[in-house]
Amino acid sequence: MKNIPLHWRVIIGLLLGTIYAYLSIQFGWNDFTLNYIQPFGDIFINLLKLIAVPLVLFSIISGVASMKDVNKLGRMGGKTLVAYLATTVFSVGVGLILVNTFKPGVNVDDDLRTEMRIDYELWLAEEEAAGNYIPRLDDINYLSDPAYADQIAAVKARRSTEEVDDNTQDKLDKAARNSEKGPLQPLVDVVPDNFFGSLVDAEMLQVIFFAIFFGVVLVGLPEDKAGPVMRGIDGLNDIFVKMVMIVMNWMPIFVFALMA
């Protein structure tokens, strides 16, 4: 099995996991799967989260500090910015073309579309009642139209029984807060007020900002002071790269567990 390339082993794990998932449903192995197989998939996700942030941190610091010339960093940053803008424009263009070509949502059932609209208006009303200003998309208001009374009641009943998970609620709260902030708030959010908080919350943009800042400052220090720090960072970077390689070797099993 070791002689088989990793990508083929991952594909095999993917296929076997899919087959097992089907058999599990057919033969009622759900309890066994949830108790003894799914945890390995959760372990894989946790390992990736564990490694990702420090790997990004130390690899960026190591890369920036190894340049020894801040001017090179500026040129590289400029090229990176141009590439980022180009890929962003390309992605937006592709998205607009696909949306205008396939028109998603056109064939959605009218009743479902109405319920989704009512759901949106109820959410908007709740946010406004809580003091969060969110601009309306248009002047349409189904909640004040008696013709939709039955659908409004049905949506309210459904919403009362639904539970919003913490992740979704955090995103809703963040969207509400951002709607009240200025246009430069995304730039402000890139700069962390607490680096360790950024690590804990896995705020990658803030971690990247700190890593670049740290690397630039490290380049400007005398060799006798920067050298030991640089060697330590290189060593830590090598450790986390090795961790990634170890996790990747077990990836086929983890993929099987995720698919099961």
The residue ranking higher by pLDDT, 31 or 164, is 31
CB atoms within 10 A of CB 188: 10
Most confident of 22-26, 63-67, 93-97, 157-161: 93-97
For Cα atoms 73, 75, 77, give the angle at the middle one, nearest 5 degrees.
Answer: 65
Residue whose tokens read 């009512």: 118
What 8-state DSSP symbol labels residue 193? Answer: S
pLDDT (0 to 100) of residue 59: 92
CATH number of the domain where residue 213 is located: 1.10.3860.10
Residue 166 in domain: yes
Residue 179 resides in a domain: no
Q: Which residue from 246, 251, 218 is spatially nearest to 69, judged by alpha carbons?
A: 218
Mean pLDDT of 8-29: 91
Contact 41, 257 (CB under 8 A): yes
Q: What's the domain range around 132? A: 6-172+189-259
DSSP character string of 9-47? HHHHHHHHHHHHHHHHHHHT-HHHHHHHTHHHHHHHHHH
d(CA 168, CA 123): 13
In the three-class reduction of DSSP (H, G, I as helix; E, B as strand; rest coil), residue 163 is classed as coil
| Locus of tokens 């592709």 | 94
Q: What is the pLDDT of residues 167-213, one digit of tens each?
A: 666 666 666 666 666 777 777 888 899 989 988 888 888 898 899 88
Q: How many domains does the chain have?
A: 1
* Contact predicate 220/205, CB 8 Å: no
Measured distance CA(210)–CA(226) in Å, rounded:
17
Q: Establish if 177 belongs to a structural domain.
A: no
184 is a domain residue: no
Distance CA 35, CA 38 (A): 7
Residue 75 vs residues 70, 72, 82: alpha-carbon distances, Å: 9, 5, 11
User: Looking at the domain assignment, is residue 48 inside a domain?
Assistant: yes
Taking the CA atoms of 192, 198, 204 and 210 in sequence, report the sign of the dihedral they define.
Answer: positive
Would 149 be classed as within a structural domain?
Answer: yes
Distance (Å, whole) CA 116 – CA 113: 5
Domain annotation covers residue 182: no
Say yes or no to pLDDT of 157 above 80. yes
- Looking at residue 136, what DSSP letter applies? -
In a domain, 22, yes or no: yes
Give the model confidence (pLDDT) of 230-251 as tens digits.
Answer: 999 999 999 999 999 999 999 9
Top-ranked range on mean pLDDT: pick from 74-78, 119-123, 249-253: 249-253
How many whole angstroms from its chain centre is CA 63?
Answer: 24
